[in-house]
Amino acid sequence: MTRTSSRLANDAWEALLTAHAALIKHLAADRIWHEVTMREYDVLYTLSKCDRPTRIGELNRNVLLSQPALSRLVERLAERGLIERSADPADGRGVRLSLTEAGRLQQRRVGGRHAVGVARAVAAELSEEEMRQLEAICRKLSGADRAAGPDRNDTATSEPEEVTT
């Protein structure tokens, strides 16, 4: 690890953090978070990308929350009828989560409007080429290695967001 490489890495990370904070704040100002908060949406969105019932632990790998916090967030969403919890037939300890129809609708409604805000904010600053580069670099940065398992099935079945508004 050379001195200059370390410096480059830290500068890049700080820039990413700054951009993240700025965009989050900007997007949080959108008037679309009355019914679901950004964190709740994060869970709904993540679930919407899964074609089959998902374990809480699996969700927890994608969501930046402690396991107990996610567990309770899931509980609240279930009480609100947005997601469904069912026992895992293959593992008595596990809980499998899936969106209810209401949850799917809610996710689509909020997601559509949210996507507009994201597009506006990002496309206002970056060229299409830059957006592509950013995505590619961030994907590399997410590095399959972290997360320990070398055999991660990195949700190759992407189909990120539907702007069906």
Partner DNA sequence: TTCAAGTAGATGCAAACGCATATACATCGG
Partner DNA sequence: CCGATGTATATGCGTTTGCATCTACTTGAA
**Closer by beta carbon to DNA, 39 or else 109:** 39
What residues have CB less than 8 Å from 85, skipping those under 6 apart?
74, 78, 95, 96, 97
**Closer by beta carbon to DNA, 76 or else 139:** 76
Rounded to 5 degrees, φ, ψ at 115 are -60, -35
Give contact residues for a copy of itself (rule: CB under 8 A): 1, 3-26, 62-64, 115-116, 118-126, 128, 130-143, 145-147, 160-161, 163
Residue 92 interacting entry, from a copy of itself, DNA, none, C-beta within 5 to 8 Å by type: DNA
CA distances, 111 to each of 18, 28, 42, 101 (Å): 24, 13, 10, 15
Minimum Å distance from CB 33 to a copy of itself?
Answer: 14
Residue 57 interacting entry, from DNA, a copy of itself, none, C-beta within 5 to 8 Å by type: DNA
Gap between the Cα atoms of 5 and 72, Å rounded: 41
